[in-house]
A and B are shown apart, each in its own frame.
Chain A
């Protein structure tokens, strides 16, 4: 245990000190940490899933607090919680389902066939609540028989079958943990291979002799463009350099090395060039449930330019980037602060993400020294004269918020989606109960 604790602490410190950067790296590290946490967690004999969920929640809360701006952490925690619930569910259904299915299956079939619409709605709602499973498309279409079969055992904490099948218990203990770890492994795998899944779709979107514009650098975008190139598509890429970090330079270098026609432009030249562009492809920091995007700074400007010239604005995002909350841009351009709306309307469940503080700054203001050399400008920052307040301010926000109406298409590892469809994806990835990771948030 102390081993895991130190691991957790180390990770916390890294997060706090902003030593981990990039949503993917963070996501992967978080998933790996949670995997080792789960594998070392000793579970009680009863209500394992509940205990595990509580434990993971406790850790997750700390992780999220460490860097509230790095949304990937929270998303991965929610994903893992969701996995635990699902595995628990499938285990209990496997154990009890065999006996009870025959009795209830007929009913369920009826429901599916829509014979009793009123009943079905209630049943679905009850099932969703009791199994902690949100009404995702998959649930609605595929998993119905299983999920509705469980309410009784799972709600009673599994003690009923615990009495009857004590022999099975030990194996189950191990099995739950084993399955969860397996699934988390799969998640980690997904995170590392999501580029490929996204890149596979490149040929469907990039056509011969097109001009693509991108800003800054993103691993996903690089892979996406290169995948199209490998499929013998010939096209040109405009790379906006992405001040102040100028990651676009690195991207241009890499693209040129892979044999792509590349042109580097300044960020301020985007509007001038956009009329010659066929499509804008960018990466994202996080995707909001409403289809809005938190992206590297400068992208809102690109999106507006693209809209003005009716150029498709495509965002590449992978599953765990989708954030289960709406975001509202509250303040003006100068401050560039993004606040999360207090309440999230999700179906008819209201999910407050940060119930105690309606205004959460989601932007990270980085060091001004990325823009200017401190030494050179130190003369302007002499507080010894005048009123004592500085005359020169340097603001260096890391992110922009691109509203959903500017986004034409999301390409995720599961395919292309319309912004208005993004909230649907949530149900596949997250459990509604986990949207608030903070425990006892209502009290």
Chain B
């Protein structure tokens, strides 16, 4: 009730119009992660129905939404939609007072984008809504976030989305967060909390991230974070749905939608962040996240969504000493040792001298004697015979482990697998009754790889393991046609070959903690890499990229840096034009686009182009200064049109002269004795008008003596010009 009252309070004080407009608070729950991280388990059961501390994940999400004051939830089901709908029908979620749950079924949605487009077509969302996935565990109150969102909306109609973030520092060694997700870089405006930059694939960038320079121009300050975690809880305005429909290529919520909005400055849509501090919010993305969040739940961070509170439909469990949760009917042998932070489900029996620690054991399991279980997640109706050893593994429903079998860290046993006697399943292997699907084209977007999910479903009863085995063996050689399967004598199941990342990456996302030697190894390679990058430190980063630390620099320096980059780019463009005979029009186009992207003026273009030409002349082989001038003359003759394009007024011409002067002083000293000759040449070629030179001279009259070096050189020339103009008069 507390949260509900709070929810109403959030609205009180807003004007009556708003009150009228606001009807029920709605939420969209995507009961499909559109990913394959939980394979092979998710081939048989949708991810949202996988038990998390003996309660299906979707119950956590729904219970939280209900307590946070959401009144209407649309559950979008895609993969295994029938299972999800059946589950919800049999649960008590339908027919709750003040909390309506309805399902939207789809068979051909392949991404979150598709799902939202479908929901948009249904016209069920009437106002601001919460967008979550069915694997979210949270106890955060939505009141404050909603209020902030609504207030922003009233001031600025373009604030379409608020994403919830929380603090979580990624490990410095593995560069992944505690939930097993990759390091996330976000730039946030510290005053308005506006999200300016979002990069969750930072590992690909090899330690550099690039920020749009425009951000630094508009904002007085930006804070760049790598210690935040995205909770994947979004408060969205209805526009979000129509945006997905308008941009039919948006698939992923973050990779496409958020980044798309951040880059697109035409529509001006803004995304804001809401940081939570004490309350808990996390999404289960991979096996490591599953492990971490399970432990958080057992440690009660998610209160009241903890095992001993019957927040929904879960059976009565009591919290006993040392953080051990035990359901009411557990057959526990006297000599069994149940360690701390362990959950034992209803109807489970445990034999003598069995040791269990840091584990979750589901309902109706039969665990023999002398079994050791450490850090495992054992689901329902699992049989573990005497003398088995399990370490950091996930064991799904109906698995049978024959006596003496063992699981090394990181193993996942999918439904109804049988592990043979005395067989030890090697570390990080995934065992399933279903064969590993033929490897799809390795599209980087994992979420597309899963097209066939909806069709696969559960194997029908006729498709017994034996039959599958047969298919498997016929496909392969006859040598496999034996009773000894891949998982030991009398075992049933296929060991999947390792996924895309290969064995190297398997440890990152498994339930098992990262072995210490592995950590040492990584930190060693990391320091090596660092040394290499330090050695390469002098080389300028590729165009358009900024070292993250340069964000702290003064904006003045930034602009200068920008100009340097710009000059380089223009030079490269120009050289390409020279060598590949690109027409002037195209060069102008390219330079113009560069100018826009660096936000510079056409004056800068002129001086940059001039610089490039000088450089070109300088780089052409020459012996005497005379030859150099000749080189320059040919270059300028050829490209004067291009230069002229940017020299629209006297000011720009003066700028070019100043640039030339600067070059003579600094970068290309070869030109300094030739100053007058070049100037004359420019005058002759009509690149620079007489007036500009005279203005430059007049301007320089007042400068310091040291600056007058070139003025003195050009004295005669200027005098001549003056006389010539007088004569004309």
Contact = CB atoms under 8 A, between A and B. Distances in A.
B565 interface: no
Given A65-B316, A383-B292, A17 B301 contact: no
Nearest to A357: B328
Given A17-B309, A381-B299, 15 more contacts: A16-B310, A17-B67, A366-B300, A367-B301, A369-B303, A374-B277, A375-B166, A378-B167, A379-B169, A383-B291, A384-B180, A384-B292, A384-B514, A385-B171, A385-B519
Contacts of A65: 316
What is the size category of the interface that chain A forms with chain B? 35 or more
B100 interface: no
A6 B99 CA distance: 13
B178 A383 contact: yes
Contacts of B316: 65
Contacts of B322: 335
Given A16-B311, A378-B168, A384-B171, A369 B514 contact: no
B171 A382 contact: yes
A66 B310 contact: yes
Given A369-B301, A384-B513, A388-B392, A19 B97 contact: no
Interface in B174-203: 174, 176, 178, 180
B457 interface: no
Given A335-B321, A365-B319, A388 B358 contact: yes
A170 interface: no
Contacts of A366: 300, 303
Contact of B278 (A9, A369, A390): A369
A169 B341 CA distance: 59
Contacts of A384: 171, 174, 176, 178, 180, 288, 292, 513-514
A93 interface: no
Contacts of A367: 139, 300-304
A18 B304 contact: yes
Contact of B1 (A20, A370, A372): A20
Interface in B278-329: 278-280, 288, 291-292, 295-296, 299-304, 308-311, 316, 318-323, 328
A13 B4 CA distance: 13
By DSSP majority rule, is chain B's interface helix, strand, loop, or mixed? loop
Interface in B229-256: 229
B276 interface: yes
B180 A383 contact: no
Interface of B: 1-3, 63, 67, 96-97, 139, 166-169, 171, 174, 176, 178, 180, 229, 275-280, 288, 291-292, 295-296, 299-304, 308-311, 316, 318-323, 328, 341, 357-358, 375, 392, 512-514, 516, 519
Interface SS majority for chain A: loop
A244 to B, nearest CB: 11
Interface string A16-51: 111111000000000000000000000000000000
Given A10-B97, A366-B303, A368-B299, A388 B167 contact: no
Interface string A70-98: 00000000000000000000000000000
Contacts of B278: 369-370, 372-375
A386 B174 CA distance: 13
A419 to B, nearest CB: 28
- Name the residue in A17, A19, A368, A390 with the highest tally of chain B Cβ atoms < 10 Å from its Cβ: A17
Contacts of A163: none
Nearest to A21: B2
A118 to B, nearest CB: 47
Contact of B301 (A6, A331, A359, A368): A368
A375 B167 contact: yes
A394 interface: yes
B178 to A, nearest CB: 4
A387 B513 contact: yes
Given A337-B321, A386-B516, A374 B166 contact: yes
A376 B321 contact: no
Interface string A323-350: 0000000010001010000000000000
Chain B CB within 10 Å, residue with most, of A9, A369, A372: A369
Nearest to B295: A383
Contact of A385 (B321, B392, B513): B513
Contacts of A9: 97
B341 A389 contact: yes
B513 A393 contact: no
A14 B312 CA distance: 11
A372 B296 CA distance: 14
Contact of A374 (B279, B375, B512): B279
- Counting from the closest, the 6 A-B pairs by CB-CB distance are A375-B167, A367-B303, A388-B513, A369-B278, A382-B178, A16-B310
A337 B326 CA distance: 15
A437 to B, nearest CB: 16
B375 A389 contact: yes
12 contacts: A357-B318, A359-B320, A361-B320, A365-B300, A375-B276, A378-B166, A378-B167, A378-B168, A379-B178, A382-B178, A384-B176, A388-B375
Contacts of A13: 96
Contacts of B300: 365-368, 396
A137 interface: no
A14 B301 contact: no
Contacts of B275: 375
B321 A18 contact: no
A335 B392 CA distance: 27
Contacts of B3: 19
Nearest to A12: B310
A78 to B, nearest CB: 21
B513 A360 contact: no
Contacts of B341: 389-390
A6 B311 CA distance: 17
A393 B323 contact: yes
A21 B3 CA distance: 13
Contacts of B280: 369, 374
Given A375-B166, A382-B171, A388 B512 contact: yes
Contacts of A383: 178, 291-292, 295, 513
Contacts of B174: 384
A335 B319 CA distance: 11
Nearest to B277: A373
Contact of A361 (B277, B303, B319, B375): B319
A367 B306 CA distance: 9
A169 B336 CA distance: 61
Contacts of A375: 166-168, 275-278
Contact of A389 (B97, B320, B321, B357): B357
Contacts of B2: 19, 21
A381 B318 CA distance: 24
Contact of A369 (B279, B375, B513): B279
Interface core residue of B63, B178, B311, B375 (most chain A CB under 10 Å): B178
B299 A393 contact: yes
Contact of B304 (A10, A17, A331, A389): A17
A331 B322 CA distance: 11
Nearest to B391: A388
Contacts of A387: 513
